[in-house]
Amino acid sequence: MTSGYWENRRKVEEEEKEEERKKKYKTIVIDPAWTVKNNLKNLKYYRTGKKMPYDMMTDEEIENFPIDNFADKQCDLFLWTITSKIPLCFQLLRKWGFKYMDFFAWDKEIGVPVNGIYRRVEWIIYAYRGKMGINKKGKFIPSMFREKRGKHSRKPDIFYSIIKNNTQSPRIDIFSRRNIDGFDSWGDEAPDKTEPSEVQKR
């Protein structure tokens, strides 16, 4: 192939990347890599001394995440959080320009004991800017859903299915580690677009 072919291909790829940077989303799922600082020494990664399977972020790094690079003027936000970070999340929403609306809970069926409490739930905070874009007729988003916990930090398939069926596109999964049908992926560990998307079935 001629050098002109590769030059044109490079230009097309650069233009596509520029368009992606400009793209704004009506629905955002974000799963920050929270830094955990509490007495979880009896859990897997703390007990064994293994390094977490991803780089963690400080509270300040998460708070300063450039959400406006992704969020449209009207946008629904689904923020994954752990129990100890819930107070910080409300501060986060204010800085990001979102209004808190509700909580969702994922029952992981398997939990861990923490300070005398058996925790088997992970939380999603729902917030929005502009007008709420979620479906308000027909099937609604349940406040709790159940799916057995799988690989560390992997979020449940049922969650993506519910969100896809009840929100507006375009959608993005920030800090994603897999391609999900109906969502763009972004993050250091986001898979290549050429990898097949996982089709979620409800």
Kindly list the domain boundaries of the chain, sorted by start residue: 26-186
Separation in Å, CA 69 to CA 22, 166, 174, 186: 7, 23, 12, 12
Spatial contact of 180 and 161, defined as CB atoms under 8 Å apart: no
Closest of 106, 81, 111 to residue 158, by C-alpha: 106
Q: Looking at this protein, which amino acid is placed at residue 26?
A: K
Residue 20 pLDDT > 70:
no
The predicted pLDDT at position 198 comes to 57
**Percentage of the residues of the chain whose pLDDT score is greater than 70:** 71
Residue 87 pLDDT > 90:
yes
**Percentage of the residues of the chain whose pLDDT score is greater than 90:** 51
Question: What is the pTM (predicted TM-score) of this model?
Answer: 0.78
Q: In the chain, count of helices (H) and strands (E)? A: 5, 7
Identify the residue whose tokens are 């250091």: 188
Kindly report, residue by residue over 133-159, the tens digit of the pLDDT: 999 887 889 999 999 876 656 788 999
Q: How far apart, in whole angstroms, are the C-alpha atoms of residue 7 and residue 17? A: 15
- Residues across the chain: 202
DSSP state for residue 57 in the 8-state scheme: B
Q: Tokens for 130?
A: 């502009």
Q: Over the range 83-120, which residues count as b (16 or more CB within 10 Å of their CB) and which as e?
A: eebeeebeebbeebebeeeeebebbbeeeeeeeeeeee
Burial environment of residue 197 by CB neighbours within 10 A (0 to 12, 13 to 18, 19 or more): middle
Query: What is the phi/psi pair of residue 17, to 5°?
Result: -65, -40
CATH class of 26-186: alpha beta
The predicted pLDDT at position 192 comes to 65
Q: What is the mean pLDDT of residues 52-77?
A: 89
Q: Hey, which residues does 81 pair with through a beta bridge? A: 123
Q: Is the peptide bond before 170 cis (omega within 30 degrees of 0)?
A: yes
Closest of 188, 157, 183, 162 to residue 32, by C-alpha: 188
pLDDT band, residue 132 (cuts 50/70/90): very high
Longest dimension (CA), the chain: 68
Kindly report, residue by residue over 25-60, the tens digit of the pLDDT: 999 999 998 987 644 444 444 444 445 555 778 999
